[in-house]
Structure 1
Amino acid sequence: MDAFTLEWKVSSQDTGKLVREFLKEQSISKTALTDIKFAGGGIFINGRSVTVRHRLIEGEVLKVVFPPEKPSLELKPENLPLQIVYEDPYVLVVNKAPYQQSIPSRESPTGSLANALLYYYQSTGLDVTVHLVNRLDRDTSGLLLVAKHRHIHHLLSEQQKAGRLKRTYEAVVHGGLEMDSGTIDAPIGRKDDSIIEREVREDGQRAVTHFKVIEKFRNCTHVQLQLETGRTHQIRVHVSHIGHPIVGDDLYGGLLVEIGRQALHCQELCFWHPMYQKEVVFYAELPEDMRELLEKATL
């Protein structure tokens, strides 16, 4: 694969700026500039190598060549099913199946979405590593955003920090919610006696989840949820906190009734494409097990 490059034609407004200043405005970090300088990249004006101290002149073509990326030796490629919703030279949007980890762990080094992505990259000639912008719990299904280069990952991560990476979920929760819509604003932190569980606690990080009822049934409710923040297990902790744990989420008080995992699915993903400079939105229908759960709830 060719090296990842970015290119700009210098405008009159940028004339006189140092290359360093201009690239900072393009959200290229100091770390990235250090890598470009020492790890095999380069900065060029009209094809001639320059330093970040070069002053730009209108009409010049500035080109940045990023150093090559190599995947971690610990991540093994695996030929696993992969449902790609969207792909371009910069990003992938994947519909992750339930019962699959986003990344491998010490206990489960294989079978993850990252393993599958690495195999896909290598089979299509992409010599890059895997950059997941967001992650989903093993038993949560739905849309997940992947950057094909560390700089794109940096840009999208900045969006995520600013709350511009919008994710909408659907879930089936126990019981009937009193309100048809509302906001749960409650800080979340790690539970003292667990390395996995989170809980609402005063010393936690601020966490905000918006919810809207889609349909009420006799013993459960189909809800839509939108994250304003992205804390670990946020939706699961928040709905449990208000007394309506997700069906199948036995870690947070849900019952494994008619489904073998928490009934939670990332249904919509919306973000600003940093290279095409436009907002893009993607959808993923509910998986079969959640559709069956809702059908049984109507009986």
Structure 2
Amino acid sequence: MNGVTRSLLVVAKYHGGDILLNGDHVWTVNLMHTGDTVTLVLPNEEATDRVDSCSAPIDIIYEDDDYLILNKPAGVATVPAHHVVTADSLVNRVKGYYQRMNYPDQVTHVATRLDKDTSGIVIFPKHRFAHAVIDQQLKQHRVVKKYQAITSGVIPANHGLIEAALERDPDSFVKRQVGTNGKYATTEYWVKQRFTDATLVDVMLHTGRTHQIRVHFNFLGHPLIGDQMYEGPTGLERQALHCYYVKFFSRFKNQYIELTCELADDMKAFLMKKV
């Protein structure tokens, strides 16, 4: 309830936290009555040696006691690769930032991820409770994320819905493809501007499959500019995809957090050449 998971209760009971009923220590079997106040006390989270810290800068869009929200540059992975011992990913950079700020919670929770060559908004919950709260919203599809993409060719419809199941490409561990045996996936888009051989679109995901936007626009016949994996034409050194908007509910502030992030410079420069 309200993001309080079984694992959080285990931490509170057995790993240095506490459960208070009207200010008094209780156990989970104690009964509550109307008007009672329950306080969940969670211990500070110590950093793990399995993740290296990195001193590279981060671009902070928003920060409070519960969430750190960043603008991820293209070319930086969200999380470190398993086969890399020392890495410069966003997670490594956030760990370095937490250390420099001497925050009590040093574990780098990450709630949303972007492909290495996709830019834009990534959400880092700053403690395990905040992570549980937003993870619940993500599973219930209540976190709104919007993207901007530059597709190849001219998309004729002003608005469209792409519904096509996605599955793993049998010849690749990373690549995905449209297939009848895949998982249901829906992508909605709105045309913002047309050029002679490209289209700027706003995109909203109704499901969150791997490479969903990239595969769906390739399936539509309009792969993203620069997306070599999915047959996109040259023009950028990475796929032209940017997460520019996010909205979710903070139970800690009892209000929605709604943020936008300007289109990445390389995508802006590409569009300027088309005008």
TM-score normalized by structure 1? 0.88
Kindly state the Cα deviation for residue 61 of structure 1 after the two structures are TM-superposed: 3.9
Equivalent position of 1:37 in the other structure: 13
Percent identical = 34
- Alignment of 1:176 onto 2:154: yes
Instruction: Work out whether residues 189 and 200 of structure 1, in 8 Å CA contact, stay in contact via their aligned partners in 2.
Output: yes
Choose 1 or 2 for highest CA Rg.
Answer: 1
Judged with a 3 Å threshold, the aligned counterparts in structure 2 of structure 1 residues 58 and 163 are, in CA distance, closer, same or farther, namely closer
- Alignment of 1:243 onto 2:218: no
2:138 to 138, 151, 160: 160
2:82 to 106, 111, 123: 106
Moved runs in structure 1, 4+ residues, more than 6 A? none
- Alignment of 1:189 onto 2:179: no
SS at match of 2:7: helix
Kindly state the Cα deviation for residue 59 of structure 1 after the two structures are TM-superposed: 5.2
Kindly state the Cα deviation for residue 163 of structure 1 after the two structures are TM-superposed: 1.2
The one-letter code of the counterpart of 2:265 is E
- Residue correspondence of structure 1 range 254-273 to structure 2 within 5 A: 254-257=232-235, 259-273=236-250
Instruction: Work out whether residues 3 and 136 of structure 2, in 8 Å CA contact, stay in contact via their aligned partners in 1.
Output: no
Equivalent position of 2:212 in the other structure: 234
Partners of 1:236 and 1:76 in 2: CA distance: 31
Judged with a 3 Å threshold, the aligned counterparts in structure 2 of structure 1 residues 165 and 59 are, in CA distance, closer, same or farther, namely closer
Kindly state the Cα deviation for residue 71 of structure 1 after the two structures are TM-superposed: 2.5
- Alignment of 1:150 onto 2:131: no
Partners of 2:249 and 2:40 in 1: CA distance: 22
- Alignment of 1:275 onto 2:248: no
Kindly state the Cα deviation for residue 53 of structure 1 after the two structures are TM-superposed: 1.6
The one-letter code of the counterpart of 2:115 is D
- Alignment of 1:120 onto 2:97: yes
SS at match of 1:169: strand
Instruction: Work out whether residues 172 and 246 of structure 1, in 8 Å CA contact, stay in contact via their aligned partners in 2.
Output: yes
Instruction: Work out whether residues 156 and 274 of structure 1, in 8 Å CA contact, stay in contact via their aligned partners in 2.
Output: no
Instruction: Work out whether residues 2 and 133 of structure 2, in 8 Å CA contact, stay in contact via their aligned partners in 1.
Output: no
SS at match of 1:131: coil
Equivalent position of 1:18 in the other structure: none
Equivalent position of 1:252 in the other structure: 230
SS at match of 1:168: strand
The one-letter code of the counterpart of 1:153 is H
SS at match of 1:132: coil
Kindly state the Cα deviation for residue 130 of structure 1 after the two structures are TM-superposed: 0.9
Unaligned runs of 5+ in 2: none
SS at match of 1:266: strand
Q: How many residues align?
A: 273
Kindly state the Cα deviation for residue 58 of structure 1 after the two structures are TM-superposed: 5.0
Partners of 1:133 and 1:281 in 2: CA distance: 16
- Alignment of 1:72 onto 2:48: yes
Instruction: Work out whether residues 146 and 205 of structure 2, in 8 Å CA contact, stay in contact via their aligned partners in 1.
Output: yes
Partners of 1:132 and 1:237 in 2: CA distance: 24
Cα shift readout 1:90-125 (whole Å, capped 9, x = no counterpart) = 011111111000000034441100001001111111
Kindly state the Cα deviation for residue 39 of structure 1 after the two structures are TM-superposed: 1.1
TM-score normalized by structure 2? 0.95
Equivalent position of 1:9 in the other structure: none
SS at match of 1:138: coil
Cα shift readout 1:44-100 (whole Å, capped 9, x = no counterpart) = 234431111222245544321113322331111111110100000001111111100
SS at match of 1:192: coil
1:93 to 59, 69, 91: 69
